[in-house]
Amino acid sequence: MGGANSPSRVLVAMSGGVDSSVAAALLLEAGYDIAGVTMKLWGGPSDTGCCSVSDVDDARWVADQLGIEHHVFNFGDDFERHVVEPYVADHAAGRTPNPCVECNRHIKFRRLAHRADALGFELLATGHHARIVTTDGGVRIGRGVDPAKDQSYVLHMLDAPVLDRLLLPVGEMTKDEVRRQAEARGLVTAAKPDSQDVCFITASAGRRKFLSERIGMRSGRVVDTAGQQVGTVDALELVTVGQRRGLGAIGDGSPRYVLDVDATSATVVVGDRAALDVSVTPLEDWRWASRPIAGPLGVQTSAHGAAAPATVDVDGTAVQWSEPRRAVAPGQSVVAYAGDIVVGGGIAARPVHR
């Protein structure tokens, strides 16, 4: 579509938030031929600024302000299959998944990218706070300029075929700067609060209600590291490694932490703070961005966490932490950085226990 000299067509994923609004504005001003799209992913209740009719309205309103076309695509079936069902299955298996990572992997950067191809858009853009960096080894995801808003962790899986056609204009800006740019243009989303947390879990009903509508909650035994039963939990599926609260009064009253969740035997192992520390975290599904890196790296294990010094086994089977640190809940994404550049990523596995 379009002649040799016509501007590239860009499909901008507009959530109805300020970041993607500014992303669209900047790309339009840079001369791209853009259209906005809001994905309808979740039909159930939501309170975290995702997929609601008012968010679609906000995105459409910004598109109108910019004078661009706006469309709505319903990827609800794909979201259910690739994000919600695995999320539920992970919890049933005693794991702690990152559904936003899976949404990016399967929906935004596969399903939407595929749709963009079919509809004749050469490029795709989002409002994520991350940068696309060209290195000697090829194109990579890097941290966004605003450390407090950096989203490279949830985009760690993006590889060259996606990155080569992706634009992340607000990754070069702080959040304050994004809001200033939105205000300067009078965009209706300029003062809209940031969305947080998992879009399909409401704060009022919570994870428990969501999961209990889809799977049975199983009670479990709570045991200490010697195997002695010290209590029970009524919903094994809601227990996370590292968790301290919600285990009831157990033992002598000193703080106890979840060290392991064994879904097969419905057992939660607890211990003191020191017992939570590990020097190795086993990995699964690890993928290096290009060649394996044997030397020291920064490794991050949660969306809002910081990277800790570590090495990753070149075969991608484990992280070796430079200093002992709290155990990583199985199911969490583990992302390795060289400086600000993502060099590999995978998922924390359950350590082989005793």
> In terms of C-beta density within 10 A (0-12 exposed, 13-18 middle, 19 or more buried), how is residue 261 classed?
buried
Q: How far is the CB of 119 from another protein (least distance, A)?
A: 5
How many angstroms separate the Cα of 278 from the Cα of each of 119, 291, 321? 49, 27, 8
Angle at which helices 175-184 and 18-29 cross, to 10°: 60
* SS3 label, residue 167: strand
Binding site for another protein (CB under 8 A): 33, 35, 40, 43, 53, 56, 60, 67-69, 71-74, 76-77, 114-115, 117-120
Q: Shortest distance, CB of residue 69 to another protein, whole angstroms?
A: 6
- Which C-beta is closer to another protein: that of 33 or that of 47? 33
> Do 158 and 345 form a contact (C-beta atoms < 8 A)?
no
Is the CB of 42 or the CB of 153 nearer to another protein?
42
Q: Which of 50, 51, 100, 199 is catalytic?
A: 199
CB nearer another protein, residue 69 or residue 277 = 69
Element spanning 259, H or E:
strand 257-262
Q: Token pair of 76, please?
A: 């609800």
From 238, 276, 239, 237, select the one nearest 256 (Cα to Cα). Answer: 276
Minimal distance, residue 10 CB to another protein, in Å: 12
Which position among 50, 51, 100, 103 bears the catalytic label?
103
The minimum distance between CB 183 and another protein, in angstroms, equals 24
The secondary structure of 64-126 as a DSSP string is HHHT-EEEEEE-HHHHIIIIIHHHHHHHHTT----HHHHHIIIIIIIIHHHHHHHTT-SEEE-
In the complex, what is the shortest distance from the CB of residue 83 to another protein, in angstroms, rounded to a whole number?
17
Nearest to another protein of 115, 214 (CB atom): 115
The b-or-e profile of 223-257 (16+ CB within 10 A means b, else e) is bbeeeeebbebebbbbbbbebeeebeebbeeeebb
**CA-wise closest residue to 56 among 18, 17, 83:** 17
Taking the least distance from each CB to another protein, the nearer of 69 and 85 is 69
Of the pair 23, 68, the CB lying nearest another protein is at 68
Rounded to the nearest whole angstrom, what is the least distance from the CB of residue 68 to another protein in the complex? 6
Q: Give the number of other Cβ atoms within 10 Å of residue 353's Cβ.
A: 10
> Does 103 qualify as catalytic in the annotation?
yes
**Please, what is the minimum distance in Å from the beta carbon of residue 24 to another protein?**
12
The smaller minimum CB distance to another protein, of residues 23 and 270, is found at 23
Residues 30 and 7: their CA atoms lie apart, in Å, by 10
Question: Element (H or E) spanning 60, and its range?
Answer: helix 53-66
How far is it, in rounded angstroms, from Cα 130 to Cα 127? 9
**Which residue is listed with tokens 């309170």?**
47
Q: Which residues are catalytic?
A: 103, 199
